[in-house]
Each structure stands twice: as structure tokens, then as C-alpha cells.
Amino acid sequence: MDSLSHALIGMAIAGLSGHPLSFYDPIYLAAVLGAQAPDFDIIAQVKGNFSYLRQHRAFSHSIPGLILWSIVISSGLFIIMPQTTLLSLLGWSFAGSLSHILIDYFNTHGAAILWPFRKERKSLQLLNVFDPILLVLLLSIYMLDFTMLTLSCITFFILISYIAFRIILRRKGKKQLLELFSQRDILQITVMPSLKHIFFWDFVIETKDSYLVGQVGAISPILKVHADLAKPKDISNFTQQAQKTLIGDFFATFTPFIYFEEEKSTHSISVTIYDLRYVLNKEFIHRATVIFDNNNRPISSYLHSYGSTTKIPCELN
């Protein structure tokens, strides 16, 4: 989620203490800083886009990461504000950090909560990274003349109610898809919040012989199919090698919907790796290319993300 939404949820957690809202109160500071801390992994951006994508929502969004952030935040605040016990600050900062990864678990990018045992980013696919409706709802309650404890309870009521509302809309969208594609041999359907339209859902449908990628209306039955990709009958040697590269291994943990496409020309062979979840302006937002030499060995790889291309070391994992 966006930083402001995380901060508002952190404030609501601190409000459960019964203390009035004050950013001179170490409890509020601990909870709000904790609610922001997992996103401090943005520092990985200094090493480039690929480094950031690999690190974001990985260790920093895991239970070990939360423990580390909580210790750092509580220790720092205790040095500056020793009027509150270290154990209390540790608890409030951990609660704030936990709220961050739980909310991220509900949105499309997910979080590697079980790191290092499972490196995949898990997601419930209910909220977008930025949800303007939820943010307005969370901000609007501060116009009410209630105690902070009451505002905290209202915040969590709004969160639960909004998530329940989104579940109902998603079920409706999934039902529409089952009816529209009833003639296809469907294995599974994943429905996710649209990147551009709040009342639309993106979807990936896996059938026996293909992947269907598109968008369906959450309120009105509007359907768009972006791609109908045939499943390869056999996994070629080139695809197997691409899977073992650094970029191939990253995509395996980054997305549950990975697709490989080979392209052969007179002078070269390449494998393109797609994350099927995100389509924007008729292009998959995250994809990669692995290029092979004349000896059929991978020699170079590139990450294509948000319209930019980054060369990645072509290492075998």
C-alpha cells in the first residue's frame, strides 16, 4: 500500500493504547515508524531497478525482517525517549510493522512473509498498491470529534468492511468469467485488482492448453482479453536454461504466473519470460529476455520493467 495508508493504520494501532494523538508520544512514533519500516528496502534502488525488485517485499517484509526493524526502532526511540519501557516500544513497533506486511499481503504484489523458508511473494490479490477509495475513507474519520481510541476502532471497522466488499466484488467477477468461458477447460482462475481502474479486475485463466489474460468489470460485465497464450507441449532445453539464470530464478519467486516464449532467428535464439499478472498499455509490465550464443548457452539477459530496460548478469543459479 501507499505510505500514507500505512501511516494511518500505524496511528490506529497506537490509538488502541488509549493515549491521545501526539507525535511526541513514543508509542505513536514506534507504531507509525514500524508501519513504514518494511518499505525502507527502497534503499536497494541505488543498485538499480533489478536489485530493488529482488529485495522489495522480500526479507524486509518477513517475520525476521519485522523483528529486526522493531529492535532498531525501539532501541533508537528508547535512547531518545527513555520515559517508555524498551519492551513496550518493541511491542508497538512490531505491531506497526506487522500491520504493514498484513496489508501488503492483501494487495497484488504480496510479501515474502515466510522468508527464508519460502521466498515466493504470497498475495490475497484483493487491494491495489494504491487504493484511493480506502485512503479517503481512512482520512475522513479524522473529521469526527471522537477520542483516538474510538477513531482506531472505526479505522479497523472500515478496513474489515472494505476488504469484505472487495471479496464480494471479486467473487462476482470470477462468476462472470466462469460463465463467459464455460466452454474452455479451466484449471484455475486468478482475479486481481486492475492497475488502472478501481472497479475492474485483471485476470489470468489457466486452461488445459493455454493462458488467457484480460480484464473484467467488477460492476458491469465488460470483458477485455489481452492475450491468449498457448501452453508449450514440451519444455525445450533453451527454456530450461533460461529458468536457471539469475533473472529466471527471480521471476520464479516474483510471480505465480510465469510464461516462457522462444524466438529463433537466423543469427540468435532468445527466450522471453513474462509475468502474466500485469498488463498496461497492451504490454506486460514485467518481462525479461535471455539471449543464447551459437553454442546454445545463455550469454546475456535483460529486464524490461515499467518501460525501462536493464542488463542483468547472465549467471546460472
Q: How far is CA 153 from the centre of its chain?
A: 26
Domain boundary among 74, 104, 130: 130
Q: So what's the pLDDT on residue 45?
A: 66
The pTM for the full model equals: 0.85
Q: How far apart are CA 312 and CA 302, in angstroms?
A: 5
Q: So what's the pLDDT on residue 48?
A: 65
Domain boundary among 75, 96, 130: 130
Q: Which three cell numbers stand for residue 89?
A: 516500544
Which residues touch 94 (CB under 8 Å, ≥6 apart)? 34, 66, 67, 70
Q: How far apart are CA 4 and CA 185, in angstroms?
A: 43
Max mean pLDDT among 44-58, 84-98, 179-193, 286-300 falls in: 84-98
Whether omega for the bond prior to residue 132 falls within 30 degrees of 0, making it cis, is no
For residue 255, being part of any structural domain is answered with yes
Residue 135 reports pLDDT greater than 70: yes
DSSP 8-state code for residue 124: -
> Mean pLDDT over all residues of the chain?
88
Which position has the higher pLDDT, 51 or 78? 78
For residue 72, being part of any structural domain is answered with yes
For residue 120, being part of any structural domain is answered with yes
Report, as an integer, the average pLDDT of 14-33: 95
Amino acid at 1: M
Q: Is residue 8 located within the same domain as residue 126?
A: yes
pLDDT confidence tier of residue 47, bands split at 50, 70 and 90: low
pLDDT confidence tier of residue 17, bands split at 50, 70 and 90: very high
Domain boundary among 95, 130, 165: 130
Residue 220 reports pLDDT greater than 90: no
For residue 64, being part of any structural domain is answered with yes
How many domains does the chain contain in total? 2
Report, as an integer, the average pLDDT of 51-63: 75
Least confident span in 54-58, 190-194, 269-273: 54-58
For residue 259, being part of any structural domain is answered with yes
| Secondary structure tally for the chain: helices H, strands E | 9, 11
pLDDT tens per residue across span 162-209? 999 999 999 999 999 999 898 888 999 999 998 778 888 999 999 989
Whether 39 and 132 have beta carbons less than 8 Å apart is answered as no
Q: How far apart are CA 79 and CA 134, in angstroms?
A: 36
Q: So what's the pLDDT on residue 92?
A: 96
Q: So what's the pLDDT on residue 317?
A: 60
Q: Containing domain of residue 286, as a range?
A: 237-312
For residue 142, being part of any structural domain is answered with no
Report, as an integer, the average pLDDT of 266-283: 87
pLDDT confidence tier of residue 8, bands split at 50, 70 and 90: very high
What 3-state class would DSSP assign to 125?
coil
For residue 155, being part of any structural domain is answered with no
Please give the span between the terminal C-alpha atoms of the chain, in angstroms, as a whole number: 31
Which residues touch 31 (CB under 8 Å, ≥6 apart)? 10, 11, 13, 14, 92, 93, 95, 96
Q: So what's the pLDDT on residue 11?
A: 97
